[in-house]
Chains A and B, each alone.
Chain A
Amino acid sequence: MQPKRLLLPLSVLLFPVLASAQLRHSVSGTVRDQRSGETLIGASIFLLGQPNSGVLSNAYGFYSVSAIAGNYKLLVSFTGYTSDTLEISLSRNFELPVNLVPEESQLQEVVVTADKNNNVSRPLTGVQKLSTSEMKYLPVLFGEKDILKTIQLLPGVQSGGDGNSGFYVRGGSIDQNLILLDEAAVYNPSHLLGFFSTFNSDAIKDVTLYKGAIPAEYGGRLSSVLDVKMNDGNDKEYHASGGIGLISSRLNVEGPIEKDNGSFIVSARRTYADLFLKLSKDSNTNRSSLYFYDINAKANYKLGKKDRIFLSGYFGNDHLGLGNTFGIQYGNTTATLRWNHIFNSRLFSNSSLIYSKYNYDISITSGNNDIGINSYIQDYHFKEDMTFYAGSAGKVNFGLDLIDHNTSPGVISASQNSSFNALSLQEKHALENAAYISHDVSLSDRININYGLRANLFTTLGPGNFYTYDAAGNTIDTASYRSGRAVKNYFNLEPRFSMSYKLTGSSSVKLAYVRTTQNLHLLSNSTSANPTDIWIPSSNNVKPETADQVSAGYYRNFRENKYEFSAEVYYRDMQNQIDYKDGAELRANENVESQLIFGTGRAYGLELFVKKKIGKFNGWISYTLSRTERQFSGVNRGSWFPANQDRTHNLSVVGIYKINKKWTLSADFVYYSGNAVTWPSGKYEVNGQVAFLYQDRNAYRMPSYNRLDFSATLQGKKTRRFDSNWNFSIYNLYGRENPYSITFQQDPGDPSKTQAIQYALFRWVPSITYNFKF
């Protein structure tokens, strides 16, 4: 080990001048697509013959490499683009923008956004990248490309159910994933009860999922980070693209604000599944609504050579209604204003002001009752990220995260003559502040490490009443706090460490340890994603959830990096996990915290992944063997029991075959064993009805699930001005009735019996989509 290098972050922080005082010079700039001007994230840049000089371009395409004075060849590569070699003479610090030309060959369609063997050499374990072009040919439900469903085909990621965009990572719950859209947290990442995700793939440039070694710049959730970055827009010419499908359509417009200096992009979607309802004769059904729309917009502008600003936003809204009797609207709004500043060729900074909100509004009309219920969670967030490129001493990231959380758990408005009183549940206010630093460095030709620390302080603030409960959930004390007074502080240190050791040029082993904490908790006690589930902050009763994860893996690329293989194992220990008392009342309950119970969790597993990255035939196989358990003192006599999302086997096979210039076929196959569920074993008669007798929680298993999807894409005639394709797909090709849920009831035909009813969705769902671009 080289302690000098490990000590470096402190010295670079305190004395940035010192570090650059060596006789080293750096070359820096932005890597872009030559045609569209779109910045390229994760392009590999290094000086030929200088083994430790390499870097990946950052989220804004920025890179910086340095070496002692001399003449070098700078090699820039990005899969799907022709690599570029630039002769440079390093005698001072200078700027060098790099424009890469997209490859026109068949490789283009299967872009893997990473350097050819970054997967082997980067120290991070459990990182998966996806580009939207990778998803282009995959068969999907309703023909709507969807990143949240595509990541469910990766190892360690489980789907929340048939057609559901909710996902579980390495034994975590759905709310333990940090889902970011241009840095803004997205609190409800789904539309239409989970059948669509909030992410319009037209608007998306880059998707990275961190499930193992989560870098120190991310925090706030326990099990994973899904970092979604929106396109910047073409800064050279105007383009429009879109798609028309059976139940949804989308349109995307982009172009320069000022050529080479700024661009904009606007993408919008609307579903019209409910048009079928209009055909119905009865007035309650044909006045029902069931649709969503969303808009992504982004603009950026260069203010000189060193500064660039970005403004991006998302707005989505779902409308579900049943005649005049019931309606719910819900959606996310996010906005991000960013300022990139290049202090010098080695110090890059980004400052962001971020706004994020999720809200829902319900209206119910029934008899005399005119009731409205609404709720929201809203964040104001300032984020500062700095990257210092210290040449062979690696790269140091440091920054601040300041978030102001406000939640309104529920406001009920009711007409004078309704059966309900108007009610406003106390708003909850909290600050989540964090500072982090991390250092990426090569200790030798073989060893790369990344280590860091995130310190986070969560403060629950007044105004409000804060209650103390006894074991039965009765309020035994109430403390009142004035506005701005701290009720409770939670300080947590989150160490992050990962390293890779290269065994050969194309294989490595990696090891990682991360600690994560979570201070916002989603309360949900139903099996499906529910738009009315509420988020509550940590408080005097609810402690931060914490997790420690150790993971290790073996990575190997074969046949000149055409094939990529990885095997990872992980173990995660979770504290302060939340569940509900039996019969918990979560609806409009001021004392909702009295309904909670707290316990621990553990998850472990093995993930195998093989991917063929290039060629006419490509795709991947992913397999996960895992176990996820929870322990609560009041459940199953305090013994460990399988969590709802515990699934032993998970297999996905994805294949894409390009037959010729016109046709591309693809298929995916999914198999998983059943989740843990609670079913009745017996029954008894009470209150004149048959009641079910339950034994242990989650002692039964749902039947296993399997499905094959198929799609064919017909490429239309491609000209310089116009490009189009038709996509035909069938979801669940062999029409298997996969159980979505199983419920129990008295047999309507024979009252002397009880029966189990299985519901299945989606048999043979065909779809046709026409996509165009001009």
Chain B
Amino acid sequence: MKPFAYTCLLLAFLLFACKKTVILPLNAVPPQIVIQGEVTDRPGPYSVNINQTINFYADNIFPPVPGAVVRLSDNLGNTDSLTETSPGVYTTHTLQGARGNTYTLSVSVNNKQYNATSVMPEPVMLDSVGFESITAFGQRRISAITYFQDPAGTQNYYQFKEYINGELFTKDAFVFDDRLSDGKYISNTLRMDSSYLNPGDQIKVSMYCIDKNVYNYLFQLQQSSGGGAFNTTASPADPESNISGGAYGYFSAHTEQSKNVVVY
């Protein structure tokens, strides 16, 4: 309901809303393990990042967790022991991701064991990328639109990422599921609340086909990521991870399609 949020914004604008930064007495939390790993249908190596949570008001430097034993395996019996290539970053050697396979991640660190499983779905072709422009509050807002054909009869889950000059531009988990769109030709707008594209920007748009658990994780992440002044989720919570053992983060086996385009 993004348009609805816009309308609320419009109303707030009329109602003389004012906005300021406040310092809140937020509790300190003991550091927790955060694991993010992925396997794609692109050639490896793939990597798994392990680091720690920090307090809300700390600088965004997330301490890496070195010295973990990390393994990735598939349902065909291939296993890869990952090497720590830089602090907290563990990289595969031989494993090759392929559609339809089930991947299992196992991490052993500080005498604790974390496991996760993800199934790489069948790929869906990203057809093309277009743009739309909306002018509101005197500001022109350009958003990218992704076009693709959703396969009928299967449940499909998608994740999108936008990069400008190689740098990740999406600060939000862009996910889409075909629950209400099964078998349709989809035009999905990657609409952002605060930052916009400019004509001439070189961008890369990636579309991942993800499994249901990863979709649920990212959907919940999106729901509890703050949002606008109105219409915020009443009870934000940590998303349900597909990693067992109590770690934050997720493990995703997905296909990847990308397009490089110039914003017009």
Contact B182 A421 (CB under 8 A): yes
Does A678 touch B at the CB level, under 8 Å?
yes
Contacting residue for A420 out of B19, B134, B184, B236, CB 8 A: B184
In the complex, per-residue mask of A400-426: 1 if CB is within 8 Å of any chain B CB, else 0: 000000000000100001111101000
> In the bound complex, do residue A683 and residue B56 qualify as a contact, i.e. CB atoms below 8 Å apart?
yes
Say whether B249 contacts A276, CB under 8 Å.
no
| Pairs A-B, 6 closest by C-beta atoms | A326-B3, A583-B220, A759-B229, A682-B29, A684-B53, A582-B237
CB-CB < 8 A to A325: which residues of B?
3, 134
| Residues of chain B contacted by A763 (CB below 8 angstroms) | 16, 18
Q: Does A423 contact B173, Cβ atoms closer than 8 Å?
A: no
Chain A residues, CB < 8 A from B55:
681-683
User: Contact: B184 with A421, CB < 8 Å?
Assistant: yes
**B187 pairs with A525, CB closer than 8 A:** no
Q: Within 8 Å of chain A (Cβ to Cβ): is B114?
A: no
Q: Are B226 and A744 in contact (CB under 8 A)?
A: yes
Q: In the bound complex, how far is the Cα of B194 from the Cα of A753, in angstroms?
A: 17
Residues of B within 8 A of A740 (CB): 17, 229
Q: Is the CB of A683 within 8 A of B53?
A: yes
Which residues of B are found within 8 Å of A285, using beta-carbon distances? 10, 135-138
Q: Which chain B residues border A757 with CB–CB below 8 Å?
A: 19-22
A693, B231: Cβ atoms under 8 Å?
Answer: no
User: Which of these, B22, B145, B172, contacts A756 with CB under 8 Å?
Assistant: B22
Interface of chain A residues 568 through 606 with chain B (CB within 8 A)? 579-580, 582-583, 585, 587-589
Known: A326-B4, A421-B180, A692-B226. A686 touches B234 (CB 8 A): no
- With A321-B7, A741-B232 as contacts: A693 and B60 at CB distance below 8 Å: no
Kindly specify which of A22-30, A58-66, A337-345, A526-534 makes contact with the partner chain.
A526-534
Assembled-state Cα–Cα distance A296/B57 (Å): 53
Looking at the complex, which one of B56, B185, B216 makes contact with A692 (CB distance below 8 Å)? Answer: B56
Task: Give 1 or 0 for each of A257-298: 1 = CB within 8 Å of chain B CB.
Answer: 000000000000000011011001111110010100000000
Q: Are A322 and B240 in contact (CB under 8 A)?
A: no
A417 contact from B185, B189, B230, Cβ within 8 A:
B185
User: Closest approach, in angstroms, between the C-beta of B43 and any C-beta of chain A?
Assistant: 21
B181 nearest CB across to chain A (Å): 5
B217 CB to nearest A CB, Å: 8
Nearest chain A CB to B193 CB, angstrom units? 9
Task: Determine if B36 and A687 form an interchain contact, defined as CB atoms under 8 angstroms apart.
Answer: yes
In-complex Cβ contact of A192 among B11, B161, B225, B231 (8 A): B11
Q: Indicate whether B34 reaches chain A with its CB closer than 8 angstroms.
A: yes
A sample of 19 cross-chain residue pairs with beta-carbon separation below 8 angstroms, ordered by A number, consists of A193-B230, A288-B7, A322-B136, A323-B136, A367-B187, A367-B189, A579-B235, A582-B235, A678-B236, A684-B249, A685-B36, A688-B161, A695-B27, A741-B230, A748-B194, A751-B60, A754-B57, A761-B17, A763-B16
CA of A407 to CA of B26 in the docked complex: distance in angstroms? Answer: 43
Does A118 lie at the interface of the complex (its beta carbon under 8 Å from any beta carbon of B)? no
Interface size on A, residues (CB 8 A): 97
A-B interface contact total, Cβ < 8 Å = 270
Contact of A532 among B4, B52, B182, B236 (CB under 8 A): B4
Shortest CB-to-CB span from A689 to chain B, Å, is 5
Q: What is the CA–CA distance of A699 and B19 in the complex, to the nearest angstrom?
A: 24
Query: Contact check: which of B14, B184, B237 meets A276 at CB < 8 Å?
Result: B14
Seed contacts A364-B3, A526-B233, A692-B226; 12 additional CB < 8 Å A-B pairs: A163-B15, A290-B11, A525-B234, A582-B220, A582-B237, A583-B220, A585-B219, A687-B36, A693-B248, A743-B229, A758-B21, A762-B15
Provide the bound-state CA to CA distance between A525 and B223, in Å. Answer: 11
Known contacts A322-B7, A688-B161, A689-B172; is-contact A644 B235 (Cβ 8 Å): yes
Which of B222-259 touch A at CB < 8 Å? 223-240, 248-250
Check if A752 is an interface residue, CB within 8 A of chain B: yes
A685-B31 Cα distance, complex, nearest whole Å: 13
CA distance A480 to B225 in the complex (A): 40
A159 to chain B, nearest CB (A): 16
List residues 655-682 of chain A with CB under 8 A from any CB of chain B: 678-682
Within 8 Å of chain B (Cβ to Cβ): is A746?
Answer: yes
Q: B76 an interface residue at 8 Å Cβ cutoff?
A: no
Contact with B along A633-649 (1 / 0, CB 8 A): 00000000000100000
Q: Which residues of B contact A644 (CB under 8 A)?
A: 234-235
> Chain B residues in contact with chain A, CB under 8 A?
1, 3-4, 6-8, 10-12, 14-24, 26-29, 32, 34, 36, 51-62, 130, 132, 134-138, 145, 161, 168, 170-173, 179-189, 194, 216, 218-221, 223-240, 248-250
In this complex, what residue of A is CB-closest to B221?
A: A691
CB-nearest residue of chain A to B191: A366
A321 contacts which chain B residues (CB < 8 A)? 7
The distance in angstroms between the C-alpha atoms of A192 and B60, with both chains bound, is 39
Q: How far is the CA of A4 from the CA of B15 in the complex (A)?
A: 62
Of B16, B219, B238, B240, the residue contacting A762 (CB under 8 A) is: B16
Smallest CB–CB gap between B145 and chain A, Å? 6
CB distance B225 to A691 under 8 Å? yes
Chain B contacts for A682, CB-based, 8 A: 28-29, 32, 53-56
Most chain B CB inside 10 Å of its own CB: which residue of A525, A527, A683: A683
Task: Closest B residue to A754 by CB, please name it.
Answer: B56
- In the complex, the answer to whether A693 meets B10 with C-beta atoms within 8 Å is no
**Shortest Cβ gap from A270 to chain B (Å):** 16
CA–CA, A277 and B17, complex, Å: 16
CB of A310 within 8 A of chain B? no
CB within 8 Å of B: which A308-353 residues: 320-323, 325-326, 328
Instruction: For the complex, give the distance between the alpha carbons of A478 and B225 in Å.
Output: 35
Cβ of A185 to closest chain B Cβ, rounded Å: 24
Q: A420-B180, A528-B230, A694-B236 are known contacts. Are A759 and B134 too (CB-CB below 8 A)?
A: no
- Residue contact A320 to B237, C-beta cutoff 8 Å: no
Query: Are A290 and B10 in contact, with the CB atoms below 8 A?
Result: yes
